[in-house]
Amino acid sequence: MSLLKSEKTEEKNVYSLEFSVDKDTWNKAIGNSYRKQVGKINVPGFRKGKAPRAVIEKMYGKGFFYEEAFNEVLPDSYEDAVKAARLTVVGQPEFDVKSVDENGVVFTAKVAVKPNVTIKDYLGIEAEKTVAPVTDEEIDAEINTVRERNSRETEVTDGESVMGDICNIDYEGSVDGVPFEGGKGEDYPLKLGSGNFIPGFEEQVAGHKIEEPFDVNVTFPEEYHAKELAGKAAVFKTVIHKIRHIELPALDDDFAKDVSEFDTLAEYRADVKAKMEKRHEAEADKKFEDAILDALIEKLEADIPEAMFVQETDNFVRDYENRMKMQGLDLNTYFKYTGMTMEALRQQLRPQAEKQVKLRLALEKIAKLEKIKAGKKDIDEELKRIADSYQMDVEQVRNLVPEDSIAEDIKVKKAMDLVKENAVVKA
């Protein structure tokens, strides 16, 4: 292999490489391609697998074995060319064959490279931090959630439904006397007050007995997702088949003893408030940190090639797909149910990907400016953390993940910690 040319293109931080594979290496690859494929080729006058290479090339063309040979010589020759050009490549290269004959092959590759980065004033970044007070309404809502988890259901056989009940209903809706698609349901378990149905629907189900037919009159919201129904008045023929009353436990000391370690409701309520205050503090810390990192990104100066954003978006899509798989779904099924497309998903994830690329570049530069190191102890601890999280042996992780990559991640994390530790809460 020899690097013939390396030159910058008009695109930001994109280079064009031209490199060759010598005659002997190329001819050896052609021979290997012939030996792999000859057994699959039928040539009249020859037993299968015995036709000479020259005969096959005459029949099918001289380039018949080229593709397999390209795949053999390209990876190593490209890697050598990148090293010779001393480039830090990001994203996937675009390859082309410039020339090929018995004397060898010349490839071209269009590659994006990591940009030069400038960043200043990254220590002492100011950002606001506001911790929201815990209100009585929040405490009540938190305690009521616990009450609902400890509630019990009783079936109502005589009497009317009330808000909070779960009613199994049949319903069929119509607009101007004409039924519409999606407007019919049978034995649907609707919790009155849940807000799952059109505004006004659930309130009109309250006050009726089992098997008593009645009409529910509602108007679809102007912003309703089905445009043909938006703003239209509708009538739903409805009947209740079953009513279950949700009985919440009394809000007293016995309730506190049942659901907590405390003996009195006052002590339990104080503990709920303390935990919510910690939660509010953590939320404020997260917003403060996000504001710092956003400000840090704004201080970054770099001509970032498009390939870096595309590659990081690819990573985000893979993570998204893995989360879907953990829920028992694949992307195609998810797209079918939601109406989402791959293009729309990529557009949705793109801003996060851009932010991640910029943040990483900024932190890598800070690590370099501050001469941050990743020692053996740091690397060993990170290997153990990864091994524990994936329930693997440390040596397995060491063999799978390059230490250089782990060291870079550690330096980036240390740089982030440095920026956060030196940040200032705006007065």
For the segment 325-357, what is each residue's pLDDT rounded down to a tens digit? 988 888 888 888 788 899 999 999 999 999 999
**How many angstroms separate the CA atoms of 46 and 417, rounded?**
71
Mean pLDDT in residue range 243-259 = 95
Would you say 109 and 75 are in contact if contact means Cβ atoms under 8 Å apart?
no
End-to-end CA distance of the chain: 62
Q: What would you measure as the largest C-alpha separation in the chain, in angstroms?
A: 98
Residue 253 lies in a domain: no
Residue 134 lies in a domain: no
pLDDT of residue 123: 97
* Total domains in the fold of the chain: 3
Q: CA torsion 20→25→29→30, rounded to 10°?
A: 80
Please tell me whether residues 272 and 419 are part of one structural domain. yes
- Looking up residue 397, the CATH number of its domain turns out to be 1.10.3120
Assess whether pLDDT exceeds 80 at residue 203.
yes
Q: What is the pLDDT of residues 361-379, one digit of tens each?
A: 999 999 999 999 999 999 9
pLDDT of residue 46: 86
- Helix and strand totals (H; E) in the chain: 13, 13
For 93, the 3-state DSSP assignment is strand
Q: Which domain holds residue 313?
A: 265-425
Measured between alpha carbons, how far is residue 154 from residues 161, 248, 370 in Å? Answer: 12, 11, 67
Assess whether pLDDT exceeds 90 at residue 293.
yes
E strand residue ranges, 192-227: 214-219
**How many angstroms separate the CA atoms of 211 and 271, rounded?**
46
**How many angstroms separate the CA atoms of 425 and 417, rounded?**
16
Beta bridge partners of 249: none
Residue 142 lies in a domain: no
Mean pLDDT in residue range 129-143 = 96
Assess whether pLDDT exceeds 70 at residue 269.
yes
Q: What is the pLDDT of residues 186-201, one digit of tens each?
A: 999 999 999 999 999 9
Residue 129 lies in a domain: no
Please tell me whether residues 189 and 316 are part of one structural domain. no
Assess whether pLDDT exceeds 90 at residue 320.
yes
Mean pLDDT in residue range 256-281 = 97
Query: How confident is the prediction for the chain on average, in pLDDT?
Result: 93
Please tell me whether residues 280 and 160 are part of one structural domain. no
Assess whether pLDDT exceeds 80 at residue 261.
yes
**Residue appearing with tokens 């001469």:** 371
Domain boundary (218, 247, 276) is at 247
Assess whether pLDDT exceeds 70 at residue 91.
yes
pLDDT of residue 62: 85
Residue 377 lies in a domain: yes
Measured between alpha carbons, how far is residue 358 from residues 185, 300, 338, 346, 401 in Å? Answer: 50, 7, 31, 18, 24
Q: For the chain, what percent of residues have pLDDT higher than 90?
A: 80
Please tell me whether residues 174 and 54 are part of one structural domain. no
Q: How many CB atoms neighbour CB 133 within 10 A?
A: 8
1: confidence class by pLDDT, cuts 50, 70, 90:
low
CB neighbour list of residue 127: distance below 8 Å, 6 or more residues apart = 288, 291, 292, 295, 423, 424, 425, 426
Angle at 117 between CA 116 and CA 122, to 5 degrees: 165
* The token pair that represents 382 in the structure block: 């990170």
